[in-house]
Amino acid sequence: MPFEWDDKTEGAPVRSGAFSFEAGDEPAVHIILWPHRSLPRRGFAAFIAITFTMLMIPLFAVLGTLALWGLLPFLIGTLALMWYFLERSYTDGRLTEELRLWSDRIELTRTNPHGPAQDWHANPHWVQLALAPKHGPVENYLTLKGNNREVELGAFLAPEERADLHERLARALAQV
């Protein structure tokens, strides 16, 4: 699952009033979400090498003819476009959402790959966590509502992952 969950709400806190944003404590729950990466960098290099090899096979039949020069730009262009769009996918995959939860504050920071970071915060006592199984833009649409604003959470996750995140986050909000 493409998220990292650091939950310190298990057991009793070291001191009374722990996990307070105002006191400068660490958050009780810290979640980092990111899009799923189906092709790691090593796989990217292997994919480009295999694609290059497969594209060069038809050129052996026309080696030494003028047809080679007619086909070569298209084959190199295909490889270059494949490289470009895979690199673009990696750049877009740098999107992250970071949620921090204290007893007196909840923060969500979305770091966009091509734009400024977006921040949202509220008092967790008043936050409403909602999961819309069928009525949102995506299946199991997960939102947080508080401080007169509603924000989506993990829109890039799979529906099952959003449902799991909803369950875990609801438990964490109830504990804090």
Distance between CA 100 and CA 118 in Å, rounded? 14
- Out of 40-49, 107-116, 132-141, 165-174, least confident range: 132-141
Neighbouring residues of 21: CB distance < 8 A, sequence distance ≥ 6: 27, 102, 103, 104, 105
Give the per-residue pLDDT at 48. Answer: 95
Tell me: the pLDDT tens digits for 92-113? 888 999 999 998 999 999 999 8
Give the per-residue pLDDT at 12. Answer: 46
Is the pLDDT reported for residue 76 higher than 50?
A: yes
Give the per-residue pLDDT at 93. Answer: 83
Question: Rounded to the nearest 5°, which phi and psi values hold at 5?
Answer: -120, 120
Both structure tokens of 104: 């007196």
Give the per-residue pLDDT at 41. Answer: 85
